[in-house]
């Protein structure tokens, strides 16, 4: 009797398993509006990334350096790096480049003396055990450690044309220098110093910066280290000389994401959508952007509609699209089902988000720095790169991320000169 009952439940379990597999196959085969899966076409890569280049231990006696303090989100850090590279070139100094902090827990700006301490405390030395914890109890040192990670700019950008040393810590070391060897630009608010390449510029009489520093004076300084604070701000460097503007353009062009792993994913999504689509970067998830979310959607919709009406082009699209597909990059969670985008979906029946594409090799990639899975931190970067490959790009007003996509990623992808700001 027991054997008969046991055989019955085994039969039921097999029947349910078969049904579930059939349902899963049907769901998988009809998902994503016939956009092809990218799982089987991406190259295999190592499961780890982002290791820091080894910094030299011996320096030339004549070498001079420039350091700065990073803060805020990724694109504010990128702008600070951009300004540092330009200043390094114009003052003939090696730039000490700190890691990039990715994640939802940015370090906010405070005065440089406090910021240096905060950056030093933000390291994860001795915390590699945190991602491995599986218990409900999280020790104090591991709290919020999964909300951010650090990567070297050497992994994300191609800075081979610039004289840099990559640091493995956010706070630059004083390199065992005497205080007399260091020229420290201590700042107490983010817009304290502005750097000019000429003192014959009447337009600089009115600006939001407290003090003006002439770059030629920095170039003539005998100090071994120029220790700067915040360098964020597209208008922080005011360059009037033609050669200096050329250097700035070259630096900004090198800010396009160059990671082979990210390029592979963005390229395949681009091909999966036929290579022809509109792109929109919609930031509505925080601060003033959240307050203006409805207005932003209206503006983006209007701009996309205008672009569609102005173009008399034969698009490569499926019969159900009635026009180009639309790829949306956004900071809205579960955006594919959010009613916020209903108007855009109505005008563009073939609207896609990153979640519409199959899993890929980045899903299993971990950072050698802290052992964290990298994909949650890379989503906005891949999103931006896919939008940057669109035929038409529309961004969010006042978003530095949108400006970066429009001014750099989109134009570099097409071999065009980048758009200059500041």
Strand partners, 281: 329
Alpha-carbon span 145 to 130, nearest angstrom: 7
pLDDT digits (tens, 9 = 90+) for 376-402: 999 999 999 999 999 999 999 999 899
Strands (E), 169-269: 182-184, 193-196, 211-214, 225-227, 237-238
360, 47 in Cβ contact below 8 A?
no
Query: Is the separation of the CB atoms in 344 and 351 below 8 Å?
Result: yes
Chain centroid to CA 98: 15
Residue 263: predicted pLDDT? 94
pLDDT, tens digit, 9 for 90 and up, residues 124-159 = 877 878 887 766 777 888 888 889 999 999 999 999
5 burial via Cβ count (<10 Å: 0-12, 13-18, 19+)? exposed
Question: Does residue 162 or residue 55 have the better pLDDT?
Answer: 162
| 203: pLDDT strictly greater than 70 | no
Q: Which CA distances in Å does 386 have to 74, 334, 409?
A: 18, 18, 9
What residues does CATH 3.40.50.11350 cover in the chain?
260-413
* Confidence at residue 48, expressed as pLDDT on a 0 to 100 scale: 79
Q: Which segments of 101-240 does DSSP mark as H helices, in order?
A: 112-121, 153-156, 215-219
Tens of pLDDT, residues 109-119: 999 999 999 99
Q: Which of 50-64, 89-103, 198-212 shows the lowest per-residue confidence on average (mean pLDDT)? A: 198-212
260-413: what fold? Rossmann fold (3.40.50)
């Amino acid at each position: 009797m027991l054997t008969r009952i046991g055989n019955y439940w085994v039969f039921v379990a097999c029947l349910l398993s078969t049904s579930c597999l059939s349902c899963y196959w049907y769901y998988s085969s009809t998902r994503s509006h016939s956009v092809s899966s990218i799982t089987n076409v991406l190259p295999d890569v190592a499961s780890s990334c982002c290791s820091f280049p080894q910094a030299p231990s011996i320096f030339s006696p004549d070498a001079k350096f420039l350091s700065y303090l990073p803060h805020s989100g990724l694109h504010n850090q990128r702008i600070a790096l951009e300004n540092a590279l330009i200043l390094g070139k114009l003052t003939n100094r090696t730039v000490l480049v700190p890691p990039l902090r990715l994640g939802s827990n940015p370090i906010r700006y405070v005065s440089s003396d406090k910021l240096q301490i905060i950056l030093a405390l933000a390291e994860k030395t001795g915390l590699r055990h945190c991602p491995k914890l599986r218990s409900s109890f999280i020790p104090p040192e591991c709290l919020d450690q999964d909300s951010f990670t650090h990567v070297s700019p050497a992994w994300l950008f191609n800075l081979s044309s610039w004289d840099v040393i990559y640091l493995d810590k956010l706070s630059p070391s004083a390199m065992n220098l005497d205080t007399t060897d260091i020229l420290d630009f201590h700042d107490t608010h983010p817009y304290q110093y502005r750097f000019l390449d000429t003192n014959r510029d009447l337009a600089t009489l009115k600006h939001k910066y407290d003090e003006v520093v002439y770059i030629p004076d920095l170039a003539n300084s005998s100090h071994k280290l120029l220790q700067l604070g915040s360098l964020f701000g597209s208008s922080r460097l005011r360059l009037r000389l033609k050669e200096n503007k050329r250097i700035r353009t070259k630096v900004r062009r090198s800010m396009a994401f160059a990671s082979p792993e990210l390029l592979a994913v963005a390229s395949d999504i681009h091909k999966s959508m036929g290579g022809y689509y509109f792109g929109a970067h919609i930031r509505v998830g925080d601060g003033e952007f959240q307050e203006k979310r409805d207005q932003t959607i209206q503006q983006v919709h209007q701009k996309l509609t205008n672009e569609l009406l102005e173009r008399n082009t034969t698009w490569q699209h499926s019969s159900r699209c009635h026009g180009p597909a639309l790829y949306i990059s956004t900071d809205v969670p579960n955006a594919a089902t959010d009613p916020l985008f209903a108007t855009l979906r109505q005008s563009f029946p073939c609207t896609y988000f990153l979640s519409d594409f199959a899993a890929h090799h980045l899903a299993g990639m971990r950072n050698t720095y802290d052992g964290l899975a990298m994909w949650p931190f890379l989503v906005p970067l891949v999103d931006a790169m896919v939008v940057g490959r669109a035929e038409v790009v529309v961004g969010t007003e006042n978003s530095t991320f949108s400006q970066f996509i429009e001014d750099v990623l989109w134009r570099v992808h097409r071999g065009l000169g980048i758009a200059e700001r500041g």
